[in-house]
Amino acid sequence: MTEHVSMATDADPYSWLEGTRDESALKWVQQQTARTEDELYDDSFREQLQRIKTVLDAQDRIPMVTKRGEHYYNFWRDSEHRLGLWRRTTWQSYLTDAPQWEILLDLDALARSEGQEWHFAGSTLLRPKASEPYERALIRLSPDGGDQVRIREFDLISKGFVEDGFDLPVAKTQASWIDRDTLLVGSATSDQFTTRSTYANTLRRVGRGLDIEAAPMLFEVDKEHVAAFGYFDSTPGFERVVTTDAIDFYHSVTGVLLNGEHQVIEVPTDVQVSLHRQWVLFAPQTDWEHQGQVIAAGSLAIAELDKFLEDGTIQRVLFVPDDSTALESLSFTANYLLLTVLHHVAAQVRVISLHEDFSESQMPLEDPMLSVSVGAVDDEDQAAGDDYWMTVTGFTTPTTLLRGTVGSAATAVKKSPERFNAEGLSVTQHFAASADGTRVPYFQVAAVDLLLDGQNPVLMDGYGGFQHSMTPGYAAAMGTGWLTRHNEQGRRAIYVMSNIRGGGEYGPAWHRAALRENRHRAYEDFAAIAEDLVRRGVTSREHLAATGRSNGGLLMGNMIAGYPQLFGAISCGVPLLDMQRYTQLAAGHSWIAEYGDPEDPEDWKFLRTFSPVHRLSDQPHPVDDYPASLIWTTTSDDRVGPSQARIMAAKMMDLGIENVRYHEPEGGGHAGSTDNESTAKMLATSYEFLWRHVQ
């Protein structure tokens, strides 16, 4: 075992760990990572790793596609193509069991030819003239799996990068085509044009051969705001630049740039605005009084953009939530608007006609324990404009991809095979009473003949932030790495997904209930579910594990520091943990609306109460009370940054807490992985650590 040597100073005992690539910090990281791997990476671990990797590499996975013109595009990784293939096929070929793929870009071959690994981060195709094929694309490439990307112009005909084509340097960059020789670009290429949140504060019209910062500026926002976002809408007949001044995470101002004139869409800044053809949609986050009408938080209203800009007329409120429902997502086909609605976290799909006075119908769905999502195939295709994709998935139900036309039943196109043995497993939904009496739902995946004697190993999963909903889904790696495990007594592992406040499961109110000074409610909710599992006899403290990443990592940090008596083991990934410094690290400044501003003394009073590195000192527990804790991140995480995880682990070690381990590989960014192999390693490390402590 590698000994931990404290390098504390009186001023700030852990500041030396903040230098992402500081030599002394990296030496500590390497020692701690090696210690963790030496303890975990035995034959049992390697078997688990290989099982998970086999699932991720499976050739019969569903290759999800995006339709552009006559082709269906897909990005694919497997054991032979670690960095992946960007490829396309035709519809008739896609329908077969073995589609014929046209390889556009082989990322592994690119790495060999250029001597550097690039990780695919998406593509944007240039809209062709009518009846012509797609010829050009912008390819986003990350050097390390982080948020910074290089954007290069690609020729879809010759299947290669365009010589002397657009090549935007590595930065946090967004770009869209205006025309073949012009891009709309927002890029944080220098401090001069970067917000405190590390994103671009300008949008520019970049012509071929022109440096970004020398290009004409079309839009600029205050550098204290999160970012200047925007895109060029190339929809025929609706060409325009759409701009967004992201003031903070939940307040923004949207506008359109038409014929050189910038017109702001005048609504409260907490009303989310989206545009589609002639329509503008409004989703208020708090009740909005408009022209004598109150539009409730979580509703969806629609207007014609020209009419709204002229006199503020809203045509219809299309969706109004109640205590059990929330709008999850929407998608336009040529003649309909498809709304995915959650009812107690179970999906419904509502169909609204855009031409029949917004009449509404509902798609029939089979099983409320399954998640359903829908999206248009290609609303501009004359023959398939009202076609939609539907994906159906559940904890123990492999994903099915269907395609249908609005008004008729969808038919299955692809179905994922079973990746783990789910025989004898049952999915149930339960509700726990939180500290303030709120009923908090959670899903439980467990054996049908479950013995309620407190002896079952359980893994709880949670997030609880940014209005993100946790919904059922077939996670083959989790099933393989956790649900198939049995301990020496023959007990099968159980998985629990929590739907705590801060998420979006019940709309904006559910999210706002755990914002800022009310953050503790999310943690009370998670703790209440843990206690409910014990009360019901499902498990006990020594058999209860929990996991979470990013904001979920902050949740885990608060479980370690505030509720250590509830858990036997915790995996805390790519986490926020120092709420005094988070705004000064990576993209942290952009999350002030979610958590609060530590530079404001009044905000710091409540921030400190859910800052895990401070709670360790403010609310100390006996060192033997803390759960076994795996704290992990990546060196290349440029969204949260690795220093918070390092500091938490180092402080716990300095406090004499012996069962804390730390793991930090180099690549992977905030996602924690860059390819199937690193994803499998990340998951296997977490599952193996937790299992050994709670089985």
Q: Work out the burial of residue 674: count CB atoms within 10 Å of its CB; fewer than 13 is exposed, 13-18 middle, 19 or more buried.
A: buried
**E strands in 251-382:** 251-258, 261-264, 271-276, 279-284, 288-290, 293-295, 300-304, 316-319, 325-332, 336-343, 346-353, 360-362, 371-376
Cα-atom radius of gyration of the chain, to the nearest Å? 25
Question: Residues near 602 by Cβ (< 8 Å), separated by ≥ 6?
Answer: none
How far apart are alpha carbons 305 and 233 in whole angstroms? Answer: 14
Secondary structure string (H, E, C) spanning 629-684: EEEECCCCCCCCCCHHHHHHHHHHHHCCCCCEEEECCCCCHHHCCCCHHHHHHHHH
How many Cβ atoms are within 10 Å of 260's Cβ, its own excluded?
Answer: 6
- Whether the Cβ atoms of residue 607 and residue 558 lie closer than 8 Å to each other: no
How far apart are alpha carbons 550 and 434 in whole angstroms? Answer: 23
How many Cβ atoms are within 10 Å of 428's Cβ, its own excluded?
Answer: 12
Q: Of 368, 576, 371, 533, nearest to 440 (Cα)?
A: 533
How far apart are alpha carbons 599 and 612 in whole angstroms? Answer: 18
Q: Of 195, 235, 639, nearest to 186 (Cα)?
A: 195
Q: In what order do the strands lie in the sheet with 458-461?
A: 425-433, 439-447, 494-498, 458-461, 544-549, 569-573, 628-632, 660-663
How far apart are alpha carbons 7 and 330 in whole angstroms? Answer: 52
CA 482 to mean position of chain CA atoms: 22
Tokens of 522: 């999310």
How far apart are alpha carbons 656 and 658 in whole angstroms? Answer: 6
- Whether the Cβ atoms of residue 462 and residue 544 lie closer than 8 Å to each other: no
Tokens of 649: 């682990």
Position 64, amino acid: M
Q: Of 55, 99, 48, nearest to 77 (Cα)?
A: 55
Q: Of 675, 450, 474, 482, nearest to 571 (Cα)?
A: 482
- Whether the Cβ atoms of residue 355 and residue 337 lie closer than 8 Å to each other: no
**CB crowding 517-550: b at 16 or more within 10 Å, else e:** bebbbbbbbbbbbbbbbbeeebbbbebbbbbbbb
How far apart are alpha carbons 281 and 126 in whole angstroms? Answer: 26
Residues assigned a catalytic role: 550, 670
Pairing of strands 251-258, 240-248: antiparallel
> Alpha-carbon dihedral of residues 506, 507, 513, 514, nearest 10 degrees?
90
Pairing of strands 227-233, 240-248: antiparallel
Q: Of 585, 586, 639, 578, nearest to 604 (Cα)?
A: 578
Tokens of 446: 């467990």
Q: Work out the burial of residue 293: count CB atoms within 10 Å of its CB; fewer than 13 is exposed, 13-18 middle, 19 or more buried.
A: exposed
